[in-house]
Structure 1
Amino acid sequence: AKEGGTRSGIIVIVDHCQGATKYFMKTNHDAGPAESADRFPPNLKELFAYKLLERIGAGPIVHFPDNSYTTVFVVYIATEEVQGLRVIKELGDEELTDGGFRSIVREKIVQAYLILLLFGLADLNEENFGLSGKHDLSVFDFWVNNINGPDKALTEFLNLEANFGMGCENRYLLLKEANEESRRMIAKESLKQWNISENLVLAERDLQSIKDKFRAHGVEFTKGTEDLHKYISSISDRLKAFESM
């Protein structure tokens, strides 16, 4: 389980007829830290971002177990174990001397930086994303701030003006190794691979049944559907800016 941060979680192993599946489970960010009694309605944007990352193949399979019998202010986020996951923070300097592996890691860090800006995420530090055994990017922890417009997001990508979050200083150097032209190429290939426009629609459809289930149990969401639609629209606007570069 993740031991640091305000959203430390637990490992859950689910037995089923095909065997067993391991999940990392934590609460939504608006649930508040464990040592505090403050609780706030969960935000649909956070749940949507997890489903969108799953859809584009840049995040783990995610489920949102119902916790309404205990409280309507806490939603659990359960991400399925990523096979062969290497968390960015755990990569050793010695193995990064391998030019081929260093190039792969650099590309994934550029992709994570792109997602940070495109999806309006924050706190994407070294403990919160990594590489799967197949060397695919996996983003598994973050929070949504969604503060930048399309022009600012693109400028921050091209000029490296944004911040991953606390504790990313060492791997930020790898990001800086990718010059602007290299970052443009990685972004264009990634956007083509992720097919975000279509997956925005599919992720919203995924979330609808989840939202209906929670609301049937008395769970209300911060600003609800209207706020989610604004978030999706802002991603679309930023996507157009990145596709035009």
Structure 2
Amino acid sequence: MSEDNCWKWNEFVEIGNTIHRMRRQVRILQAKYALGIANQLIDNGFIIDLPIKDQQLYETLLLKIAEYLDGNAEAGLDEDLFDITFSPKKSGIQTGFTCDVNNGTQSVCYYIKTHQYGSTEDNIKSIKPPDTKELFVYKILHHIGIGPQAHFIIPSRGTKKTIYIATKDCHLVLLSSLIKNTANNNALLQLDLISRILCLRDCADNTSNCGQVGETPMIVDFRIEKQSQGYAKLDILDKFYEGNSEFHYSGLMEIAIKTTNTVKMDIMNKSLQEWKLLENIERAESEINGLVKRYDGKMKFENDLQRYVQDLKTTVAVLIKS
């Protein structure tokens, strides 16, 4: 990479991160200047040689800059008070970045990544369409208080198979950072229970994808896969009591699942009352169906949500009857 191209890249990123705070005429001039830089970087082959995460950052900032090119995009009433910056995310195989919004007194961070089986650092050709079950799970976890606020961002250009998931920082203490004195046994059992209900993988058994906010369980990442035999779990209560090896727990989770069945039953009943699962299943389903309908023809989805939801209701009914 030449020094000149690196300088132009840094200049482009700086404009992209600050253009929303510029005055109208300055915004137009800076937008034209930044797009000129972008064209030079494309012509020089600089962008295509960037890591995938920086290429995605480039595309995001390019769209943002282009909105101000003709001056029609007006800054919000308080945009001069906000500083918005994007940077590549520090971990994980999926393409993504972080977005920090600062108004001078408060700062909010969003973690933005591609959907499960979206583009990765190693192979952008591995993209598969987003699974509506994944989007549904983000919504229902938030509705029942076990997941962060989530937003789904669909690019206006490019592939019809990429969706970005932005989750608001919830000040999570990762399971990997908890110790016996700070872990809440009830919260850990709730992580186990909801993972079983929703058929989640790489979740409660991955100490970097879940943890606690205070004494509340929290899940920030997971995997969910299509299951040919369906998602209903008629034996879920027995497995919850047994603490079976479905998730291969260790450490604090391994200790938690050895809790007596009487205590587990009490936690399950209180959780079902608190979570209002049937109500929130329908709420999340309606939201995702609305998203799919809104982007019909613009985005491809893997969609067996209807079967998944029906099976979830069957599983919940089993627990309620117990």
TM category, shorter: 0.7 to 0.9
User: Aligned to 1:143, what secondary structure does the other structure show?
Assistant: coil
Matched, 1:152 2:235: yes
Residues 164 and 153 (structure 1), Cα distance of their counterparts in 2 relative to 1, 3 Å cut: same
Q: Which whole-Å CA distance do the structure 1 matches of 2:272 and 2:307 have between them?
A: 21
User: Aligned to 2:301, what secondary structure does the other structure show?
Assistant: coil
Q: Which whole-Å CA distance do the structure 2 matches of 1:123 and 1:160 have between them?
A: 16
Which residues of 2 match residues 198-213 of structure 1 at below 5 A?
A: 198-213=279-294
Matched, 1:79 2:143: no
Matched, 1:24 2:111: yes
Residues 153 and 9 (structure 1), Cα distance of their counterparts in 2 relative to 1, 3 Å cut: farther
Q: Which whole-Å CA distance do the structure 1 matches of 2:90 and 2:236 have between them?
A: 29
Matched, 1:57 2:131: no
Q: Tell me what 2:274 maps to.
A: 193
- Give the number of the structure whose alpha-carbon radius of gyration is greater: 2
Residues 164 and 13 (structure 1), Cα distance of their counterparts in 2 relative to 1, 3 Å cut: farther
Q: Which whole-Å CA distance do the structure 2 matches of 1:156 and 1:132 have between them?
A: 26
Q: Tell me what 2:223 maps to.
A: 143
Q: Which whole-Å CA distance do the structure 2 matches of 1:89 and 1:2 have between them?
A: 17
Which residues of 2 match residues 213-228 of structure 1 at below 5 A?
A: 213-215=294-296, 218-222=298-302, 224=303, 227-228=304-305
Which stretch shifts more, 146-155 or 25-34? 146-155
RMSD: 2.3
1:10 to partner: Cα distance: 2.6
Which residues of 2 match residues 149-188 of structure 1 at below 5 A?
A: 149-164=232-247, 168-188=249-269
Deviations 1:167-213 (A, max 9, x none): x4212322234122211111110110000111111112222332234
The unaligned stretches of length 5 or more in structure 1 are none
Q: Which whole-Å CA distance do the structure 2 matches of 1:146 and 1:40 have between them?
A: 13
Deviations 1:115-139 (A, max 9, x none): 1110111111111111113x21111
Q: Which whole-Å CA distance do the structure 2 matches of 1:70 and 1:59 have between them?
A: 29
User: Aligned to 1:193, what secondary structure does the other structure show?
Assistant: helix
Tell which has more relative contact order, 1 or 2 (C-alpha 8 A, sep 6+). 1
Q: Which whole-Å CA distance do the structure 2 matches of 1:211 and 1:18 have between them?
A: 37
The one-letter code sitting in structure 2 at the alignment partner of 1:173 is E
User: Aligned to 1:31, what secondary structure does the other structure show?
Assistant: coil
Relative to the length of structure 1, the TM-score reads 0.84
Matched, 1:14 2:101: yes
Does the CA-based 8 Å contact 2:100-2:109 persist in structure 1?
yes
Does the CA-based 8 Å contact 1:119-1:146 persist in structure 2?
no
Q: Which whole-Å CA distance do the structure 2 matches of 1:174 and 1:206 have between them?
A: 37
Q: Tell me what 1:121 maps to.
A: 200
Residues 16 and 229 (structure 1), Cα distance of their counterparts in 2 relative to 1, 3 Å cut: farther
Q: Which whole-Å CA distance do the structure 2 matches of 1:2 and 1:87 have between them?
A: 16
User: Aligned to 2:311, what secondary structure does the other structure show?
Assistant: helix
Work out the number of aligned pairs and report it.
Answer: 228
Relative to the length of structure 2, the TM-score reads 0.65
Residues 76 and 183 (structure 1), Cα distance of their counterparts in 2 relative to 1, 3 Å cut: same
Q: Which whole-Å CA distance do the structure 1 matches of 2:196 and 2:255 have between them?
A: 18
Matched, 1:237 2:314: yes
Does the CA-based 8 Å contact 1:68-1:219 persist in structure 2?
no
Does the CA-based 8 Å contact 1:156-1:162 persist in structure 2?
no
Deviations 1:98-120 (A, max 9, x none): 3xx44x2x211110111111011
Q: Which whole-Å CA distance do the structure 2 matches of 1:182 and 1:9 have between them?
A: 41
Q: Tell me what 1:38 maps to.
A: 126
The unaligned stretches of length 5 or more in structure 2 are 1-88
Q: Which whole-Å CA distance do the structure 1 matches of 2:197 and 2:103 have between them?
A: 37
